[in-house]
Structure 1
Amino acid sequence: MRLPTDTVHLKLQTRQYELFGRSLGRGVERRVLLIGAASAALWWAVLLLLGMPILHRLSPLVFLVPPVVFVLYGTRRDDTGRMMLAAWRDRLLFHAPVRRRSIGNPLLHLDGHRTRPISLLVTTRLVTAVSMSDREGGAS
């Protein structure tokens, strides 16, 4: 006998309610914090490798706004409950070139020689048979 369960309908989310001794109110999902930290670290590393100065007057705008916008739009949920990051990943994988090579029949090349395609030249001649009564023009 199977008992009914509600595990399909449960959405367990761990939340961070305090960060560096400061209260975050109702809390922030830990997954969102992890995505934000990873995207900010990656963005800052790219900017520093490209030589962007940290103490420029536009540095706070350049260093902070793109990761914040990425996290805000990427962690929004669609109608099915999936994050937009998953939809973006699916779209990228759909447009990416195929990474797998096609696997042929391994039994065709056992002796190491490759087979050549066969080309056939087919010619036909149309011959119609006419009965003797049709040649005379009479109908029987």
Structure 2
Amino acid sequence: MSTAGFIALTDTPVTVPLPEQSSASAGLDFATADNITIVEDGVYRVDFHVLGSYGEIGNVNVSLAIDGTPQPGGMLAYELLASELITFTLTNYYTLTAGAQLSLQMFASVPGNFFFAATGPSATLSVERVA
């Protein structure tokens, strides 16, 4: 979970800071900063939620990355107006192996700052083993 103020975006993906961890996280490892590491092979439900606004007019992309690679079934992109509040929310299921590292990445068509919501969690990555 992140309560960061903003993140500078370009056309190169950057990892979203996720400094706050859940205490109810059996089977997951948080030793690597801004990542969730899978401890056990299985099928996982993965959800992400990002809330904020962009300082420019342009396309903003949020994606789930596994081992640093954005996943085609885990990407959302919206064209935003400057300072328009937007919520990116996605749920999908993935077969993952132990050691896989999950993170959120963002990039934009026009360089600028993405401002996270001023209060509450503004970026959340949730992972749950289902099989």
Q: TM-score range by the shorter chain?
A: under 0.3
- Normalized per residue, the structure richer in helix is 1
Question: Relative contact order (alpha carbons < 8 A, sep ≥ 6): 1 or 2 greater?
Answer: 2
* More strand as a share of residues: 2
TM-score of the aligned structures, taking structure 2 as reference length: 0.21
**TM superposition score normalised by structure 1:** 0.20
Larger Rg: 1
